[in-house]
Structure 1
């Protein structure tokens, strides 16, 4: 069955790489291939039970290849069917941004932040402003109840409400190398998002919803509220909440940063290790109590064996704790493995550990085919796989050591020295095995961590060697005690848990301070990951495996820089990131990088921290030669602080007032700081950079009037001859018509550019006809948010660009846009064209 589940997983993974779901022709091809492969395997009489087949080795291999292909087709078809059913529930495009009324109940506890309360809402009834035919409307939506203008009402899971809302279809920012949030929404069956548009008209229904799911969510929410009440503003309160309920929304940015730098992020989620601890604790306690009980004068073990009671008590406790954790992927994996092992013990069967892992893999994917698109899935299964691989290879040595100790103990049991020697040898052997397991897990997870987070904590093994036992043996039991103990004893346990983690955080912070503690590398591609996986298996092979010392050679592709097709001078690449309603543009030459604006910050969508910094890390940009912040609007400057915190910046250039705090942040980060002014010019790798606006001197007026305007070109000056085909890009920030007229009056030829990042997101106050005539763009990029409240780009302005037959790209429909310029060639790549997946909301 290991091979069957492996093929099934391969098919599920294959489906998640598809741009569209299979048509009826595709379904016929999948079914035909599955039937043919299975018929081939049956013809060769492959035995699933004994993992053998008749005939020679090649016959066996071809038979198992048939089984794999058939299982992969089944996995592909199953995932496609689940996706088709889930995507069938869709919000009609005509209903987007319109006020609707929905009736239903809270399906999750609210997550509170400065903007209000976010929660999942199970819809039981919709208003229908217009007929929708046979269309199936979303059953679950994600809502924000705004809390800035009025206090929030009491919100708990199961409460029924009738709410006026404004909704939109699921939409996530699309950027090369970063995870698309739309797949996470599909995984949770969230088919629309929005906000309560008129809280005063919300009506509470006193009849609360019932059911097992609602009851579990109520328990989780009450535990969450109790921890909030006890720990209040404690700095690591979010960690305690995460360990208790699996909810990570309250974890602070500082804690996330510390965990990422030390490779200990797995500790702040309820993982398989915590589940096993709870199961072992419950099983041991139940078994001990059962052995001492009597029923009508008979000892309880005569009624039912204590081992059986302990086993099923452990299973029940594990299921309860998994429910409290929200059944995340690592918990599901551990729970299925525990259930498989429990069934094997109860039936007296001897099941291989790898078989148990295979069943857990299949059951997780049966429940959640989209789990393969999350980092937790790969980290969890690869970690357990590495442990089983190492333990299996160490088995012969373990058996030999145990017999040696038994013989030694028998020969010298009467001598204290011999006992101490045996004890020391045993302790040393356990430490060796523990170190080998830790080494194996660290090695196995390194390329996966690099792929998902573009960083490799070099101090991870040291940090985990201390943090894992500390959290497992001290922090987690204190949290569990805080859950089960009554008031006021629970407060003592929760405060103890917080203090214990506080001590751990102090130690982790001390070891994470050196700059070399974290290695940042570019996100590896499939071939680099494949080579690294082969090398890891080679390196962790049992003793005696040939050429184990050569395994690190296969890891060299991980160290390669991010691919950039134009390494010669005179070439540059402009990447307009999808940061929602905001601007962030990365300009790269062969050996230099400039970031123009950094997107929204904490006051809005945290795009600087969520998108800009991860994108730079994923693409191997460890140093910015310049960070240019065009002006003081939050959708351009908000993310700059996050960039300065995480990325080394040599020069900070800004169109900001001298009183702006970013100047101090830049100098504190070691960057040279200067005001941007027209006439500034520099050259990198044969590419010229010219600042065209604002004029030198004190800044005045509103921020849009003194935006930095940057021109990047393969030549220092714009050609006077219109036939000249040298390439330029113009980054116009938020300039408006007066600034455009001033630039035209100064030197209209200097504005000529083939690529234009559209000024002010396509507002009606910009992109005047004379300005577009002077620029003459071939490609225009609109950086706008999906259904943004400013209605950018303005319809008349967009039509103005269309009338000129310009190649248009907009971040709300296309995601991030790359334009590579080399010589006279322009290459335009849109994220949602080249990286499209079937779950992405199609543009209207």
Structure 2
């Protein structure tokens, strides 16, 4: 569905047409695929597509909208604007259009919910595209963020905040003085804006991320609490209820409504929708006296979610959520009398441990595919945390909210201190997280197919087929001898040279406004995802687009990697010399002495083996290029080249381009470059010299893998080529 103009879709349809002509049951699959395409495209046109979006970009326009969220306030103020109109175009009431906007004036008086009018410029949302890193473009699409821009505010109309904002403000006020107040706030609101990146990372390593994602666990707890409270209220009523009234149905519907309100105030997360729909289906079946099988229950709920929100299939949380549910329902179906009073407490404890183990195994492939690892401690922590959340923590924080309506009283201070101390201890355990490296989408699919086949006695015999294919794939897959990654970092550069799990990093990208570090958000996640040890770091020069992440490199424990080329105490320019890196020779060949400016003092590095070589020249200009040619022309000869100074016409002289004599050149630059890089003259020079050109602004992350007798180039924008993101 998401590859409408690629070969996969027509080939899949052709195969289904052929198979269904001989096997009639497959005609239902074909009909389902066609319906899926129709629903997806209709949903896109109705809720996502703007036929006028290109008519409002890159020109002065009037901007009107409502402040949805204040992303950053200060000298650099940034808001998320719920757009009402851009220029003469108005947003229809059934569509949501957001724009991330930098505010030039009046930001200090803005509040969430204010309606503002102003003038400025917008452009279509576009972000960096890298392998194994958070996909900001896909996130923006799913959340209806169409534009970025800048504006000057002409008028501000304060508006009374809505009920959801008022609810969240109340919850935040109730728990703001607690040590883990951010956690209680998330549990009751679903809003994660107050969580630090460190806490997100800690919860992931502890296997507790599901607690912060409103899911079946939360809906189940609230549904159960609601049912119990309503049932209790019915029995303590002074008047007797007529025997003809089914009390259970009334309580179930009431609990379902309460859970539905919780789903709405928590942001309508996919996992919460799934859980509520399953609860609603259960209530309906109870009312009608029906019994549904495991497969039918899951299929019905998934069909409803996909029908009303087909792009939720792009949310990895959907797969975590349904995999956990399948694991639980499958295990319970194997022992239907589990909850019987005949079983001892010890038996039920054993089954609880088994249940956690089964859920862990079902989620393992998804965890490795998404996070390149798995939480080991989470298997143990969840044995305690899940029942504690349902029986103690959730009722306690709900009670605290009700008490706070009448009294300014901290009801759960002791519980908060205990939890905070426990959290501090367990997050510092040494072996919380096991890194397992990357697996491809094909390997994930084969692993999941193996699990599904094993679940049934009828199909278990066929599980050996995906297992054999997966094993053969791993045994025959050849690893590159070394690899070069040119990250898409916008205007700037960051290049990683890796072999056998170790790497050299050349440049660190920028640090935007002190709030967004390329090193921490692009380079470091990639390094960790691929289990890479950073041995050496070379900073070409101290310009912000090359050395912006230096403080974050040091704060993350990589200061020793600077020593070989920048001395024990960091210095510029770099230290010339040669370092052996396995079979690779790494040579800093320039500058011999400090030049007339930082650009010309860039550290020029050549990395080579017996067959291929890479030249990294930083931002040197034509004057330094000429000196390098005179000094040692042969030393410049390389297979791959990072274009000097991002393709500026002050660099890449004809003599330099010819002296390198490479096969591939990569331009590392931003898509919206005010300097119109790479310059057309520079492109012409490389073209005439026979180079194959790649551009991180157009191709995204450029990855080159070197094998014994050939090399392969992979591009992030080709790998993530979704039709609605082009």
With the length of structure 2 as denominator, give the TM-score of the two structures: 0.87
Does structure 2 conserve the Cα–Cα contact (< 8 Å) formed by 1:91 and 1:138?
no
Q: State the match for 1:48 in structure 2.
A: none
Does structure 2 conserve the Cα–Cα contact (< 8 Å) formed by 1:475 and 1:500?
no
Residue 433 and residue 224 in structure 1: after superposition, are their counterparts in 2 closer, same or farther (change >3 A)? same
Q: Identify the match of residue 783 of structure 1 among 664, 668, 671.
A: 668
Distance 1:589 1:207 in 2: 57
Q: CA deviation at 1:351?
A: 2.6
- Give per-residue Cα distances to partners, 1:708-737, cap 9 Å, x unaligned: 22112234xxxxxxxxxx532211223344
Q: Identify the match of residue 197 of structure 1 among 143, 151, 154.
A: 151
Distance 1:581 1:74 in 2: 43
Q: State the match for 1:747 in structure 2.
A: 632
Q: Matches of residues 89-104 of structure 1 in structure 2 within 5 Å?
A: 89=50, 92-93=53-54, 95-104=56-65
Q: CA deviation at 1:446?
A: 0.8
1:162 partnered with 2:117: yes
1:182 partnered with 2:80: no
1:140 partnered with 2:97: yes
Residue 222 and residue 137 in structure 1: after superposition, are their counterparts in 2 closer, same or farther (change >3 A)? closer
1:520 partnered with 2:431: no
Q: Identify the match of residue 585 of structure 2 among 688, 712, 727.
A: 688
Q: CA deviation at 1:138?
A: 8.3
Q: State the match for 2:40 in structure 1.
A: 79
1:585 partnered with 2:495: yes
Q: State the match for 1:465 in structure 2.
A: 383
3-state SS in 1 of match to 2:516: coil
Residue 545 and residue 364 in structure 1: after superposition, are their counterparts in 2 closer, same or farther (change >3 A)? closer
3-state SS in 2 of match to 1:839: helix
3-state SS in 1 of match to 2:202: helix
Does structure 2 conserve the Cα–Cα contact (< 8 Å) formed by 1:711 and 1:730?
yes
Residue 82 and residue 753 in structure 1: after superposition, are their counterparts in 2 closer, same or farther (change >3 A)? same
Residue 197 and residue 751 in structure 1: after superposition, are their counterparts in 2 closer, same or farther (change >3 A)? farther
3-state SS in 1 of match to 2:66: strand
- Give per-residue Cα distances to partners, 1:304-323, cap 9 Å, x unaligned: 43222211111111111001
3-state SS in 1 of match to 2:156: strand
Q: State the match for 1:253 in structure 2.
A: 197
Residue 127 and residue 313 in structure 1: after superposition, are their counterparts in 2 closer, same or farther (change >3 A)? same
Q: State the match for 2:308 in structure 1.
A: 367
Q: State the match for 1:629 in structure 2.
A: 539
Does structure 1 conserve the Cα–Cα contact (< 8 Å) formed by 2:200 and 2:209?
yes
Gaps of 5+ in 1: 1-14, 41-58, 209-214, 406-424, 664-673, 716-725
Distance 2:501 2:184 in 1: 45
Residue 426 and residue 540 in structure 1: after superposition, are their counterparts in 2 closer, same or farther (change >3 A)? farther
Residue 126 and residue 532 in structure 1: after superposition, are their counterparts in 2 closer, same or farther (change >3 A)? same
- Give per-residue Cα distances to partners, 1:172-195, cap 9 Å, x unaligned: 3222344533222222233x2213
Residue 18 and residue 280 in structure 1: after superposition, are their counterparts in 2 closer, same or farther (change >3 A)? same
Q: Matches of residues 347-366 of structure 1 in structure 2 within 5 Å?
A: 347-366=288-307
- Give per-residue Cα distances to partners, 1:79-133, cap 9 Å, x unaligned: 2332355563156546434332222334x343446653432413245347xxx9x
Q: Matches of residues 495-506 of structure 1 in structure 2 within 5 Å?
A: 499=417, 501-506=419-424
Does structure 2 conserve the Cα–Cα contact (< 8 Å) formed by 1:709 and 1:732?
yes
Gaps of 5+ in 2: none
Does structure 2 conserve the Cα–Cα contact (< 8 Å) formed by 1:482 and 1:489?
no
What is the aligned residue count? 724
160-169 vs 322-331, which deviates more? 160-169
3-state SS in 2 of match to 1:465: helix
Q: CA deviation at 1:37?
A: 8.5
Q: CA deviation at 1:438?
A: 0.5
Residue 700 and residue 258 in structure 1: after superposition, are their counterparts in 2 closer, same or farther (change >3 A)? farther
Does structure 1 conserve the Cα–Cα contact (< 8 Å) formed by 2:588 and 2:605?
yes
1:707 partnered with 2:602: yes
1:610 partnered with 2:521: yes
Residue 125 and residue 579 in structure 1: after superposition, are their counterparts in 2 closer, same or farther (change >3 A)? closer
Q: State the match for 1:67 in structure 2.
A: 28
Distance 2:66 2:600 in 1: 48
Q: State the match for 2:344 in structure 1.
A: 426
Does structure 2 conserve the Cα–Cα contact (< 8 Å) formed by 1:678 and 1:693?
yes
Q: CA deviation at 1:748?
A: 2.9
Q: State the match for 1:280 in structure 2.
A: 224
- Give per-residue Cα distances to partners, 1:132-190, cap 9 Å, x unaligned: 9x99998502223448x765323223x32213233222323222344533222222233
1:839 partnered with 2:724: yes
Q: State the match for 2:108 in structure 1.
A: 152
1:766 partnered with 2:651: yes
Distance 2:176 2:93 in 1: 43
Distance 2:478 2:182 in 1: 40
137-146 vs 621-630, which deviates more? 137-146
Does structure 2 conserve the Cα–Cα contact (< 8 Å) formed by 1:524 and 1:558?
no
3-state SS in 1 of match to 2:607: strand
Does structure 1 conserve the Cα–Cα contact (< 8 Å) formed by 2:72 and 2:78?
yes
Residue 164 and residue 509 in structure 1: after superposition, are their counterparts in 2 closer, same or farther (change >3 A)? same
Does structure 1 conserve the Cα–Cα contact (< 8 Å) formed by 2:47 and 2:96?
no
Q: CA deviation at 1:388?
A: 0.8
Q: CA deviation at 1:340?
A: 0.8
Cα RMSD between the aligned structures? 4.2
Distance 1:636 1:288 in 2: 65
With the length of structure 1 as denominator, give the TM-score of the two structures: 0.75
Q: CA deviation at 1:437?
A: 0.9
Distance 1:187 1:243 in 2: 23
1:436 partnered with 2:396: no
Q: State the match for 1:421 in structure 2.
A: none
